[in-house]
Each structure stands twice: as structure tokens, then as C-alpha cells.
Amino acid sequence: MARFWFGIPLWQRVIAALVLGTVTGMLWGPDAASIKWIGDFFIKSVKMLVVPLIFFSLVSGITAIGDLRKLGAVGGRAMVLFVVTGQIAVWLGLALGTLIKPGEGIDMTGIEMGATPPPSTTTPVDMVLSLVPESPVQVMADAQVLPLIVFAMLIGIGILMAGREGEPLIKIFDAGSVVMQKVTMVVMELTPFGVFALMAWVAGTLGQDALIALAKLVGLNYLGCLIIIFVMYSAMIRFLAKLPVRDFFRGIVDAMAVSYSTASSNATLPVTLRCAERNLGVSNSVASFVVSLGATINMNGTAMYLGLATLFGAQIFGVDLSWGDYFVISILSTLGAVGAAGIPGAGLIMMALVFGAVGVPLETIAFVAGVDRIMDMMRTTTNVSGDAAVATTVAVMTGEIDRAEMISADDV
């Protein structure tokens, strides 16, 4: 039995769990929520890895890059790709919302709204301030990813600057990073069970009425995300990285399935890292650096959705938007996507930031809250695929990829 189970590649077990979980949820209905705890157990187990994994692998990734000039080259290229793809994503959302007008003709009477989440009070200045950890220990205890990344990057840079005297620490961080990868492999074996339970819960508990009223928005969210993944990322892999697109997607199937079912880039981080290194042949240093950074700041699915949802809100409440408003939306959606934590529902909260600036009523948030999860799943898959695409492209640009590894993606 065990031999049969482990004989099936993990990604195939995960996909099977995804399909079976959805069918089970549809047949079982709201009571499927009774097995959600299995999914929560899985998410908790993966989340447990995030802080030590980021800390060890980011520091070891930076020290493995070897010198500060090369670090700048890798980081600079990743940032350019993050910003350019983020802007394309927002404008795609705005274009879809303008052309297809998902919010027109919706009768708002008789539609039950979810609870409005408290509006985000984060200003751009707060965002900048929150980058600096007041206490690194506190940041780790609270699992605040962005300041943790800043701290880990500074430690890595400090070790490089220390030269020979810093070498013992390089060994320690390398060892820690390898150990964390092994722990990840063990925890990953829970994935099929977690994915099954989460899919059953989502499929069983989704409010049907809200879904029908919001079908257009949900459909456009999926369409936008699919365009980003299969057109924008494919083009990036094909023309910038010059690698076979099919092998790329084959290599990240695990990360896509886990991100879809957990709706959390952070919870998927260990899986994304493993896919980038093991299946795509991205060097450990580039993968650790770019993927960890990307999981927090590179959220193209979220950026696209924020643009789209703002137009949706404006349409259902009859708010006229000017071209100037479109620019405000594009800037704030990008900032909102950077500031959104890689956790479920983060994009929903960031809507308040964009809506407030262009006068779209915050009630829109309550209206879409009921179906946010199903859209969040697709946004997160887009975000995570983007991290892998950027890591792969940067690895190719800086000669940090092992092509033989990628081609063997067939036997993952």
C-alpha cells in the first residue's frame, strides 16, 4: 500500500486530490466544512516552515551569490521584472473591466452582502516604515515576512562584507537551509490530504446565489489570471528565458496546486522554492532570493484583480471614473499588491486602499466578500507562478540555471 502510494509522483497525487476534493464537496454540501480541519492542519504545518525557511535560505542564497555586485545584478533584474509585469497586470484588469463591464446591469436589491472587513488604514508611508524591523525577534515571532526579508538580506550582505571572518556563519546558514529543505519534503507529503479537504470545503460551502450574481466578475478574474499565466509568463519563459514553456509549467504543477487550494503565497513558499530548484534547475541562491522576495511583493494576480474590482464597484454603484482615476488605480493597485501579505483574503482588504482614493463605495467589498475565496485561489496561483517565472528568467539571465535539471522535469 505504502509502496503504491509513494510510487505515484507527488504532483499526480495532488491533482487527483484537487479533483476528488471538489467533487466530494459538491456532493456533500456545506457539511464538507467538517473536514476543513485537515486542510488547516496542513496549512499550519507549512506555515511553520516559513520563518526558518526564509531566514536560512535567503541568507544562504545571498552568501552563495558571492559578491555584492552580482547580488545587485540579480536583485535589480528581479525588481524590474516584478514592476513591469505588475503594471501590465493592472492595466489588463482595467482593460477587461472597461471592455466587458462586469458590474453593469446588476440588481443590487435582494443580494446578501458579506461582512465588510475593517478598512485598511495603511498609508504608503506606513508601508515604508513597516519594512524596518524594530526587533528582529519580534518579527520572527509574528511571522511578518517583509521586515524579516529585509533583516535576512542585511545579515547576508553583512556576511559577504565580513569576508573570511564571516565564513563560519556561511556554513551554518547553508546547513540550516539544507535541513529546512528536508523538513519541507516531509511536510509536503501532507499536501494531497490538505488539498482534498480544502477543496471539499470550498466547493461545499460556496453560496450559490452570490456566485450567480457575481459570475461575471469571477469569470473575468479567472480570464485575467489565465492570460497573465499562459500569455505573459509563457512569453517571458519563451522569449526572455528562452526555455520550453511546457517544461516550465510541468515543473511548477505542485506549487500551482498548493497555491490554488491554500490561497496563500506564503504557505506555498516552501513548495515554490522546491519546484524552482528541483524541477526547473534554478540555482539555490537565485531561487531562495527571488522566490522569497516575490512571495511577498510580486503579486500580479492581486494587482490585476484590484484594477478589475475597482471598475466593478464603480459600475455597480454608478461612479464615473476619469483617465486620471485610472492612473491612480494603476499606481495604488500595484502598491496594494506589494503591501498585501501572502495570506488568504489579503487582496480583499487592500481593495479599501484603492476604492477610497477614487470614490468607489466600500460596500463593494462586502458584496464580493462571499466569492472572494474562489477568486483568491486563482489570484494566488497567478502570484506564485509569477515568482517561479521571474526566478527562472533571472536565473537564465545571470547564468544560474542548470538546464539539464529542467529538461528532466518529465520524470518529476
State the residues that interact with ligand ASP by CB under 6 A: 263-265, 299, 302, 340, 342-347, 376, 379-380, 383
Residue nearest to ligand ASP (CB): 347
Residue closer to ligand ASP by CB (options 106, 374) is 374
Cβ-based nearer residue to ligand ASP, 17 or 299: 299
Q: How far is the CB of 348 from ligand ASP (least distance, A)?
A: 6
- Cα 398–Cα 399–Cα 402 angle in degrees, nearest 5: 135
DSSP class of residue 35 equals G
Q: How far is the CB of 178 from ligand ASP (least distance, A)?
A: 27
Distance, CA of 275 to CA of 101 (rounded, Å)? 37
107 phi and psi angles, rounded to 5 deg: -85, 110
Distance of CA 216 to the CA centre of its chain: 23
Least CB distance from residue 136 to ligand ASP, whole Å?
Answer: 23
Supply the minimum distance, in Å, between the C-beta of residue 372 and ligand ASP: 8
- Torsion, Cα 335 339 340 341, to 10 degrees, reads 160
Residue corresponding to grid cell 531561487: 287
- The CA-atom distances, in angstroms, between 317 and each of 18, 105, 149, 360, 362 are 37, 10, 40, 8, 10
Least CB distance to ligand ASP at residue 64 (A): 26
Judge contact between 65 and 289, C-beta under 8 A: yes
Which residue do the cell numbers 540550516 mark?
176
Question: What is the Cα–Cα distance from 344 to 213, expressed in whole angstroms?
Answer: 22
Nearer to ligand ASP, 177 or 380 (CB): 380
For residues 82 and 173, which CB has a smaller minimum distance to ligand ASP in the complex? 82
Give the up-direction half-sphere exposure of residue 64: CA atoms within 13 A in the CB hemisphere. 20
CA–CA gap between residue 89 and residue 96 (Å, rounded) = 11
Single-letter residue type at 230:
F
* Chain centre distance of CA 229: 12
Nearer to ligand ASP, 65 or 349 (CB): 349
229 CB-contact burial (10 Å; exposed 0-12 / middle 13-18 / buried 19+): buried
Q: Give the Cα-Cα-Cα angle 21, 5, 262 (nearest 5 degrees).
A: 35
Tell the smallest beta-carbon distance from residue 36 to ligand ASP (Å): 17
Taking alpha carbons only, the member of 263, 209, 261, 204 closest to residue 33 is: 204
CB of 274 to ligand ASP, least distance (A): 18
**401 phi, psi to nearest 5 deg:** -125, 145
Instruction: Between 85 and 264, name the residue whose CB sits nearer to ligand ASP.
Output: 264
User: Which lies closer to ligand ASP via its Cβ, residue 60 or residue 383?
Assistant: 383
Min dist CB 18 to ligand ASP, Å, is: 17
**Distance spanning both ends of the chain, measured CA to CA:** 21
Closest distance between ligand ASP and the C-beta of residue 264, in Å? 5
Q: Which is nearer to ligand ASP, 133 or 339 (CB)?
A: 339
Task: With beta carbons less than 8 A apart as the criterion, state whether 300 and 378 touch.
Answer: no
Pick between residue 283 and residue 296 the one whose CB is nearest to ligand ASP: 296
